Amino acid sequence: MSMEVFLREGRGVLLAYDQGLEHGPTDFDERNVDPSFIMKLAAAGRFNGVVFQKGLAEKYYERRVPLILKVNGKTNLVKGEPVARQICSVKRASELGAKAVGYTIYAGSAHESIMLEEFGRIQEQAHALKMAAIAWIYPRGEAIKNDTALEIVAYAARIGLEVGADAVKIKYTGDVESFRWAVKSAGKAKVFMSGGPKAPTEVDFLKQVRGALDAGATGLAVGRNVWQSSDPLKMARLLQRLVIENLSVEEALQN
Ligand code: FBP
C-alpha cells in the first residue's frame, strides 16, 4: 500500500504524539499536554502526518493533516518483557479518518510472537481498507543488549519488510554508514527514523536527521524533539528544510 499521502517530494516528517500512553504526562509541560496544541502545530508546521491513539483522534483530530492511528500501545508502568496488544480496530481507525495504522512490535521480547501475529492480521485489514500499515519496530527485552547496534537496527528494518509493513520506524544507529545498511535491509519498506528523547542541542538532533536521510531514509517520525523544543514551529521549519528541501544542517540553519 502506498505511503504517498504522507510524502512531499518523496519525503515525510511525521509528528508523533502517543507518548501520553507510552510514557505518561511526565513528557509534557503546560503547553504540550494539550492535544489541541499538537493538532495546531501539526498543521502550522506542515507535518506530513500526525500520530494519535484512538482517544485523541476521537476528541482532537481535525483532518488537516493525514492521520496515523496507533492501534496498539502500552504504559510504562508494567515492567518485564514488553508486549503491546491491539487496543483499536482497523475499522475504527478508518472511520476516524486514518490513512495508515501504526503498530509497535517489540522484536526480541519473549512476547514478540503475539505482536507479529497481531500485526499480520492488522496489515491485511488495513490494506483491504486502502490504508498503509506502519510498523514501529523496537528491539527490546532481556535478550536485547544494545538496541542501536548496527545488526539489531538492520534486523528491525528487515523485520518490517518481512512482515509486510509499508513503512518501518526504527532508531538511528549513530552514523550514516551503518544506517545505510539498515535502510538497505528494509528493501521497499520506507524507513522513518525515530526521534527519541530530546537531544542535548538542536544541532545534535538535526545532524542525526541529516545522517538518516543521507543513508537513504524517507524521513522521520518525531515527537519530543519537536514539541519539547522551546520553539516547536522553528524546529518544524528546520525539519522541513532538511527533509523535504534536502538542505544541509548549515543551510537549514541559515536565515
Ligand atoms: P519521540 O520522537 O518522542 O521519541 O517519539 C517517537 C516514538 O516512537 C513515539 O511514537 C513513542 O511514544 C515513543 O517514541 C516510544 O518511546 P520509547 O522508546 O520510550 O518506547
- The pLDDT tens digits of the residues spanning 136-195 come to 999 999 999 999 999 999 999 999 999 999 999 999 999 999 999 999 999 999 999 999
| Sequence-ordered list of residues with C-beta below 8 angstroms from that of 162, at least 6 positions apart, any chain | none
**Is the distance from CB of 139 to CB of 147 less than 8 angstroms?**
yes
Distance CA 164, CA 189 (A): 8
pLDDT at 29 over 80: yes
- The pLDDT tens digits of the residues spanning 69-122 come to 999 999 999 999 999 999 999 999 999 999 999 999 999 999 999 999 999 999
Give the pLDDT confidence score for residue 48 in this predicted structure. 98
Task: Compute the distance from residue 124 Cα to the ligand 1 centre, in Å.
Answer: 25
User: Average per-residue pLDDT in the chain?
Assistant: 97
φ, ψ (nearest 5 deg) of residue 207: -65, -40
φ, ψ (nearest 5 deg) of residue 137: -110, 110
Distance CA 134, CA 70 (A): 9
Q: Are strands 67-70 and 98-105 parallel, antiparallel or unpaired?
A: parallel
Task: Compute the distance from residue 255 Cα to the ligand 1 centre, in Å.
Answer: 30
Residue 171's nearest CA partner among 143, 203, 199 is 199
Mutation to probe ligand 1, out of 13, 15, 17, 19 (largest number of atoms < 8 A from CB): 19
**Is the distance from CB of 44 to CB of 56 less than 8 angstroms?**
no
Of all protein residues, whose CA lies closest to atom 13 belonging to ligand 1? 19
Q: Of all atoms in ligand 1, which is nearest to the CA of residue 194?
A: 6
Q: Of all atoms in ligand 1, which is nearest to the CA of residue 51?
A: 10
Please tell me what DSSP assigns to residue 56. Answer: H
Percent of the residues in the chain that have a pLDDT greater than 90, as a whole number: 99
Distance CA 221, CA 134 (A): 11
Ligand 1 is surrounded, with C-beta below 6 A, by 16, 18-19, 22, 51, 136, 194-196, 221-225
Distance CA 171, CA 152 (A): 10
Task: Compute the distance from residue 223 Cα to the ligand 1 centre, in Å.
Answer: 7
Residue 171's nearest CA partner among 204, 138, 205 is 138
Give the pLDDT confidence score for residue 1 in this predicted structure. 84
pLDDT at 44 over 70: yes
pLDDT at 255 over 90: no
**Is the distance from CB of 166 to CB of 192 less than 8 angstroms?**
no
Distance CA 22, CA 18 (A): 6
Please tell me what DSSP assigns to residue 86. Answer: B
Q: Which residues are catalytic?
A: 138, 169
pLDDT at 221 over 90: yes
